[in-house]
Amino acid sequence: GNSVTQMEGPVTLSEEAFLTINCTYTATGYPSLFWYVQYPGEGLQLLLKATKADDKGSNKGFEATYRKETTSFHLEKGSVQVSDSAVYFCALSADGGSNYKLTFGKGTLLTVNP
């Protein structure tokens, strides 16, 4: 079956530090890959996505590249801010007819200190 494994948290960084959150996946077919973010007290929001191999998704300074050869989709940001403190979820949507259901990782809590 489909599965997503992401880096265990929590991750604590100082402002302006470099961020990497690792994500690897197992899926049948050619999945689309996503990073969702959950800020305190808010719902899940789509952060970025990539739909095919070698695509790079980017948003708000975050980037992730779809690596089919390593089945990975690592999230990076060059300089984090306090406002980036949140829980980050890696997810995939695999071929399944019309059902685009998402399979999520367990989430990684990021805390950025000033």
Nearest CA to 86 among 41, 22, 38? 38
Nearest approach, Cβ of 30 to other proteins (angstroms)? 10
Nearest approach, Cβ of 43 to other proteins (angstroms)? 4
Task: Decide whether 18 or 100 has the Cβ nearer to other proteins.
Answer: 100
In the complex, the residues that contact other proteins under the rule CB under 8 A are 4, 32, 34, 36, 42-46, 49, 51, 89, 91-93, 98-107
What are the strands, taking DSSP E only, across 2-113? 3-6, 11-14, 19-21, 23-26, 32-38, 44-50, 56-59, 62-65, 75-77, 86-93, 103-104, 108-113
Task: Decide whether 36 or 84 has the Cβ nearer to other proteins.
Answer: 36
Task: Decide whether 12 or 79 has the Cβ nearer to other proteins.
Answer: 12
Nearest approach, Cβ of 55 to other proteins (angstroms)? 12
